[in-house]
Structure 1
Amino acid sequence: MRAEIVILPGDGIGPEVTAAAVAVLRAVARRFGHALNFAEHDIGGIAIDRHGDPLPPATLDACNRADAVLLGAVGGPKWSDPNARVRPEQGLLALRRALGLYANLRPVQPHPATLGAAPIKPHLLSGVDLLVVRELTGGIYFGDKTRTADSASDLCSYSVAEIERVVRRACRLAQGRRCHVTSVDKANVLETSRLWRDVATRIARDEFPDILLEHQLVDSMAMHLLSRPRAYDVVVTENMFGDILTDEASMLAGSMGLLPSASLGDGKAGLYEPIHGSAPDIAGRGIANPYGAILSAALLLRHSLGLVDEAACVEQAVDSALEAGVLSADLAAGGDAVGTHGVAAAVVERIETPSHVAELRD
């Protein structure tokens, strides 16, 4: 296969973790005989500094033409003034909307080797395997905003069509898993949530009779996600609730640095990124955890390039590295930590081991 992949390193540790992910993708290309071409472009704070725009036209044009996009992180103290006219996060939001990426997939599957890094009791984490599907281009983040000297407002709105498409995506994904979907809303208070619940109920009932759908209020979901995470399979929710709940869910895995994400639309192209931020306090020190970026690359292989075996190879290589104790500083709990380059090298070594691939295909 030949594919064009745009790399958006961004800010902070973004360049470090995307470099690790690209090293892994290059190893996959060598092992399986693919031609993967990479082109770097600016986004976020670095793009503001260089171009005065968090999403320069050249970056957007390249992303529109690419088969997939891999992002590091955006933002940092230099650009953190919330009253600034131009901010790094605007570039990311604009890119999601421009590419029509309405569904953000965030899998959470704690690894036995990292349970000690999680603040949750290990017996609650064994067997956890959930997928959060977050609506990505609607809701309060994209609504009209007003500000006066005495007040401010942010409009939260959703259309039936916006809800239908993300609920359908969640139900299709659940059909390949355990056929259980939990729809999260705040229907006891918000009109948008009442619409969300009505639409989700209709879609599941009329189009996915094999799916067990349950509804959960977001405040109780925040509690249950930590107290009984094994109870959930696919969780679908609106933009802001999904943003908050997925950061909470990262604690199930032991570190935000472990978790990948895929932002998808109706086409094959997608945007892939670890869920962590730019972590400017550790940028340039070579200690950032690249596992989330590497696993995001696996999602890229699966969802945008259709390379299922290759994606599984990366995921198994990550599992093997973690099992062998290749732990970054955020996971080592005071023990021996491996740097960013060392983690990437360990994953690459496992991908390039013929016995690993042969075992995968047996």
Structure 2
Amino acid sequence: MFSNYKIAVLPGDGIGPEVMKQVYKIIYLINKIFKLNIITKEYKIGGIAIDDINIPLPLNTLLGCLKSNAILLGSVGGNRWDNLPSKKKPEIGSLLFLRKYFKLFNNLRPSKLYLGLEYLCPLKKEIYNKGLDILCVRELISGIYFGKPKGYNGYNKLKYAFDTEIYYKFEIEKIAHVAFKKALERKLKVTSVDKSNVLQSSILWRKTVCNISKLYPKVELNHMYIDNITMQLIKNPSQFDVILCSNLFGDIISDECAMISGSIGMLPSASLNENKFGIYEPAGGSAPDISGKNIANPIAQILSFSMLLKYSFNLVKESDIIDNSINKVLKYGYKTKDLTLNSKDFISTSEIGSLISCFIIKENNINEQNTIRKNI
């Protein structure tokens, strides 16, 4: 697809830089094994950029992203920057800006219960034994987060705040097509989330999704109100395959899916535009409370890189090998602190990254195993 695969790496804040180091081990191996030329270059973003030059998204970072084929993001933000004005906060001033700037309308967040991690699921055994493998497809650059007008007005007890939920028909059509196409690759089922008994934007959402569904006769379409699906995900998550959501509802549902899968440290995400350019990042935050302790879980960051290979670079085989290696590490009982119930029975961030690398080597029967291991 590309002669050189250029990735803008934005480690960000908190645990971002230390989990990103584990991805570099994987990139080294993928280049070595498959004779690829994946080129990475780091740029500052978020709180660390604010500390450096007082803005969350430096021009140099934006230009670096423009010159790349994909963006691999760590995490941005933390309580150190919570009191800044809204537009200067790391999340709004950098991440939301990049999503809108690159027109990343399509957010994919897979959530599944991994073999060996069932005990972390908060649901009853008879529920999670039925299976949990959900793809949340979330519209990412419209809806109430970006709608105008928004703001504050009034004074004293009459002061009020307002946000606008707005969706154009073409925006709903675009994200609906994504959900139905993903369903064709999976179990042929889409559940569309709305609140059409109350909201005008949801009425248009449901009508539009129904019209798009006619183009995909093999896919079963169901509708659920946001309040109902939050209950159904607890009662019987196995009934869901692809969940199609607006920006706000997708934010809520994807986090609930994260919780029932056991650990947010296991969940990657991809935010894509129509040209398959995207930002790939873990679903969790910067976790400043554990930053620098070498105990963070890097698997979501590594899985995000795996998604990058699959969706932006079309390197499906390479992506599958990474995923299989992670599955084997977990199957054999190697876990970071967030995945254990025993506070002493865990391995470090760097150790889990090296173990995944070793399983990638094993998967490919590499002759140069000793040489490669020295570099990871």
How far is 1:81 from its partner?
2.1
How far is 1:302 from its partner?
0.3
Instruction: Write the distance in 2 (CA, Å) between the matches of 1:237 and 1:276.
Output: 19
Counterpart in the other structure of 1:143 = 147
**Aligned partners of 2:121 and 2:128 also within 8 Å:** no
How far is 1:85 from its partner?
4.8
**Aligned partners of 1:67 and 1:268 also within 8 Å:** no
**Aligned partners of 2:325 and 2:363 also within 8 Å:** no
User: Which of structures 1 and 2 has the bigger CA Rg?
Assistant: 2
Q: Following superposition of structure 1 onto structure 2, how do residues 314-325 of structure 1 map, counting pairs within 5 Å?
A: 314-325=322-333
Instruction: Write the distance in 2 (CA, Å) between the matches of 1:281 and 1:341.
Output: 18
Spell out, residue by residue over 1:143-180, the C-alpha distance to the aligned partner (whole angstroms, 9 max, x if none): 22211230110111110111100000010011011110
Instruction: Write the distance in 1 (CA, Å) between the matches of 2:56 and 2:116.
Output: 38
Amino acid at match of 1:135: E
Counterpart in the other structure of 2:4 = 2
**Aligned partners of 1:66 and 1:269 also within 8 Å:** no
Counterpart in the other structure of 1:68 = 70
Counterpart in the other structure of 1:38 = 40
Residue 134 (1) aligns with residue 138 (2): yes
Q: Alignment partner of 1:278: what SS?
A: coil
Counterpart in the other structure of 2:79 = 77
Instruction: Write the distance in 2 (CA, Å) between the matches of 1:82 and 1:203.
Output: 42
Question: Which residue of 101, 106, 111 corresponds with 1:103?
Answer: 106
Question: Which residue of 89, 113, 117 corresponds with 1:114?
Answer: 117
**Number of residue pairs aligned between Structure 1 and Structure 2:** 356
- Check 1:6–1:210 CA distance in 2 against 1; reply closer, same or farther (3 A cut): same
RMSD: 1.4
Counterpart in the other structure of 1:15 = 17
- Check 1:355–1:307 CA distance in 2 against 1; reply closer, same or farther (3 A cut): closer
Counterpart in the other structure of 1:360 = none
Amino acid at match of 1:34: L
How far is 1:270 from its partner?
1.0
Amino acid at match of 1:147: Y
- Check 1:2–1:86 CA distance in 2 against 1; reply closer, same or farther (3 A cut): same
- Runs of 4+ in structure 1 off by over 6 angstroms are none
**Aligned partners of 1:31 and 1:351 also within 8 Å:** no
Instruction: Write the distance in 1 (CA, Å) between the matches of 2:324 and 2:127.
Output: 23
Residue 218 (1) aligns with residue 226 (2): yes
Counterpart in the other structure of 1:286 = 294
Instruction: Write the distance in 2 (CA, Å) between the matches of 1:174 and 1:336.
Output: 39
TM-score when normalising by structure 2: 0.92
Counterpart in the other structure of 1:190 = 199
Between stretches 43-52 and 117-126, larger displacement belongs to: 117-126
Amino acid at match of 1:99: F
Amino acid at match of 2:261: A
Q: Which runs of 5+ in 1 are unaligned?
A: 358-362
Counterpart in the other structure of 1:200 = 209
Instruction: Write the distance in 2 (CA, Å) between the matches of 1:257 and 1:105.
Output: 16
